[in-house]
Chains A and B, each alone.
Chain A
């Protein structure tokens, strides 16, 4: 399996998912309860009552104001995790306290810090398009029954679009165009560029942009290990002027595809996907089309990665893979993840190293 990287921010939920209902998510193997206080602040606590480990996110657990009441025996906790009430006695055991998690709401995501130290000044990487009046966003989340490393591998090599997503976002040129990979090892960023000068326009973009001829298609991947993947997609009719030196690019359509990659357990992953566009902002038909099509594409990946995980589970230890040029970015990501995991191992694990 791909080792977990602790001391990092992870997408726990979309902001719109966290409200006055109790939401449970398991992140890096840690069950976490999410809800919003009456004044709108997101809270993340351990999702197990200290008494008999009942999940606080499960009914009939409930909120009483900003306090969480366990649905099994009524243990009641404040937003700071401290137990304020137990049934039938006045003395509350000193150890009756839930772990709390640092939370940040940013770019339409609720991020939770998983680690053994406080985040300090460290903030999650940005995806500003998701919370911008200049863009319209469609999004979703699909649970994946696979190691998060398989999703990273999948997203870092888009040549699979030609085969797995043919007829949606894949065209022959994707697999046939060479790539440039850049790696900032210290910052944990992998950047993969594939610029197609003259490509077929896949239905995903033809129907959403209205372009009916061939296109210039740029795919620039920016992976911030371990948690956030950005695909800057630029589509323009062949022959249209390129971006201006000041960064403006009025002759092209831009789609920012964002993935929050959140390991849940060793072999399950939350696949948060979002597509932000800077055109047809108010066109509901375009939104509906992109939502349905991107969901289809995501599910094609989910099905394939679930199958792959099952196949890998039957392999003997030490099985061999073969990597070729298209895997340059994925190999870089694997190495960065391994390094980050080793540097941020939990104290008990670090002790045996």
Chain B
């Protein structure tokens, strides 16, 4: 992962989307810890707001790849 901005908002349910430096990709981080990269911000919001559907806990390595999570 590239260097990311430190968090600015401190609420309990904050979604974060990092534009990954040097790429055209967006890294979406849910407040539950699940992460996924996208190429389209519309897809980012569909995935984030679907929480908890398709989100796995941060400590579950499989959760890093929602491609595997599709039913």
Contacts and interface: CB of A to CB of B under 8 A. Distances in A.
A179 B4 CA distance: 10
Interface residues of B, number: 23
B18 A180 contact: yes
B59 to A, nearest CB: 22
B68 to A, nearest CB: 24
Interface string A179-204: 11111111101010101000000000
A328 B46 CA distance: 12
B58 interface: no
A77 to B, nearest CB: 43
B41 A328 contact: yes
Interface string B35-71: 0000011101100010000000000000000000000
Sorted from nearest, which 5 A-B pairs have the closest CB atoms? Answer: A178-B19, A180-B5, A184-B11, A328-B41, A181-B17
Contact of B15 (A182, A193, A222, A327): A182
A265 B7 CA distance: 36
Interface of B: 4-5, 7-9, 11, 13-21, 24, 26, 40-42, 44-45, 49
Contacts of A182: 7-9, 14-17
Contacts of B4: 180
A324 B41 contact: yes
Contacts, number: 66
A185 B14 CA distance: 7
A189 B12 CA distance: 13
B18 A189 contact: no
Nearest to A334: B45
Q: Is the interface of A mostly helix, strand, loop or mixed?
A: mixed
A325 B26 contact: yes
Interface of A: 178-187, 189, 191, 193, 195, 220, 222, 323-325, 327-328, 331-332, 335
B42 A331 contact: yes
Contact of A180 (B11, B16, B41): B16
Nearest to A189: B9
A323 B40 contact: yes
A328 B11 contact: no
A331 B13 CA distance: 18
Contacts of A185: 13, 15
A191 B40 contact: no
Contacts of B17: 180-183, 328
Given A181-B17, A331-B45, A335-B45, 8 more contacts: A179-B19, A184-B13, A186-B11, A323-B42, A325-B26, A325-B41, A327-B41, A331-B44
A184 B41 contact: no
30 contacts: A178-B20, A178-B21, A180-B4, A180-B5, A182-B7, A182-B8, A183-B9, A183-B14, A183-B16, A184-B9, A184-B13, A184-B14, A186-B11, A186-B13, A187-B11, A189-B11, A191-B8, A193-B5, A323-B40, A323-B41, A323-B42, A324-B41, A327-B41, A328-B19, A328-B26, A328-B41, A328-B44, A331-B45, A332-B45, A335-B45
